């Protein structure tokens, strides 16, 4: 039997979906694709962290034959050592290992510039992986480099580098809780494909 698209197998998640998350799994779950190419990372769902766009982003990538897993971070309580003035964020060693199983991370964040930059920095300080940042608020390479995050176009000074991973690209204007606009989805897919191609070329040279 012939199919017009590449078949993908995704492991069943271990928790029930949350209504506010658009049916996305509960916190602390990984839906793993058959091939470890891309992992879409969502913050733990809650009143402010509505993860709906991640479902559409994931579907859009799979539609373009990109193998993508989905990791919903467990997070934690209290204020961790990541420099956030409000809110909380932590990442477990297991989540770090799950992220590093993949070639590329797509990290969905929100609408507070300080939180977007610092949460991305916290993830990439632990996980050695190239990443594409998807956020509601506009951010640029300079914002990340200023905070010690390695980026494709702008690097922090050597003494200020705080990450193992690197920001390859970013797509802004994806609102939490709303549908992902078609043009933004196209940008994400384009950036993901371009980065995977670059990684493959670099691997071939190495």
pLDDT of residue 46: 54
pLDDT digits 0-9 by tens, 77-131: 334 444 544 455 778 899 999 999 999 999 998 888 998 999 999 999 999 999 9
In sequence order, which ranges of 84-206 are alpha helices (DSSP H)? Answer: 93-100, 113-126, 141-146, 182-205
CA–CA separation, 116 and 135 (whole Å): 7
The separation between CA 176 and the C-alpha centre of its own chain, rounded to angstroms, equals 14
Distance between CA atoms of 8 and 27, rounded to whole angstroms? 23
Q: What is the largest CA-CA distance in the chain?
A: 57
Please state which architecture CATH assigns to domain 29-198: 3-Layer(aba) Sandwich (3.40)
What is the per-residue pLDDT for 142? Answer: 97
Position 26 scores a pLDDT of 60
Distances (CA, A) of 120 to 83, 84, 198: 12, 12, 21
d(Cα 156, Cα 4) in Å, to the nearest integer? 45
What is the predicted pLDDT for the residue at 54? 84
DSSP β-ladder status, 104-108 and 38-42:
parallel
Query: What stretch of H or E contains 25?
Result: none
Tens digit of pLDDT at every position of the chain (206 positions): 444 445 554 443 444 444 444 445 566 677 788 788 999 998 876 545 556 788 889 889 999 999 999 888 876 433 444 454 445 577 889 999 999 999 999 999 888 899 899 999 999 999 999 999 999 999 999 999 999 999 999 999 999 999 999 999 999 999 877 888 999 999 999 999 999 999 988 776 55
| Domain locations in the chain as residue ranges | 29-198
Residue 151 main-chain phi, psi, to 5 deg: -135, 165
pLDDT, position 166 = 98
Sheet arrangement for strand 38-42: 29-31, 68-72, 38-42, 104-108, 130-134, 166-171, 150-151
Q: Is 108 helix (H, G, I), strand (E, B) or coil?
A: strand
Give the pLDDT score at 184. 95
- Beta carbons within 10 angstroms of residue 157's beta carbon: 8
CA–CA separation, 10 vs 18, rounded Å? Answer: 18
Dihedral, CA of residue 47, residue 52, residue 53 and residue 54, to nearest 10: 100
Nearest to 162 by CA among 116, 124, 131, 130: 124
């Amino acid at each position: 039997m012939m199919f017009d698209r590449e078949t993908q197998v995704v492991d069943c998640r271990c928790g029930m979906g949350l209504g506010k998350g658009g049916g996305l799994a509960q916190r602390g779950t990984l839906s793993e694709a058959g091939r470890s190419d891309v992992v879409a990372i969502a913050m733990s769902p809650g009143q402010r962290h509505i993860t709906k766009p991640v479902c559409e982003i994931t579907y859009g990538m799979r539609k373009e034959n990109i193998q993508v897993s989905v990791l919903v971070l467990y997070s934690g309580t209290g204020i961790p050592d990541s420099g956030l003035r409000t809110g909380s964020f932590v990442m477990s060693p297991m989540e770090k290992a799950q992220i590093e199983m993949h070639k590329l991370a797509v990290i969905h964040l929100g609408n507070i510039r300080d939180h977007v930059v610092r949460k991305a920095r916290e993830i990439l300080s632990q996980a050695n992986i190239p990443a594409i940042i998807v956020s509601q608020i506009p951010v640029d390479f300079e914002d990340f480099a200023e905070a010690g995050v390695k980026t494709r176009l702008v690097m922090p000074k050597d003494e200020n580098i705080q990450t193992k991973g690197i920001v390859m690209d970013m797509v802004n204007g994806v609102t939490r809780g709303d549908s992902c606009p078609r043009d933004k989805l196209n940008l994400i897919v384009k950036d993901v494909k371009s980065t995977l191609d670059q990684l493959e070329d670099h691997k071939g040279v190495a």
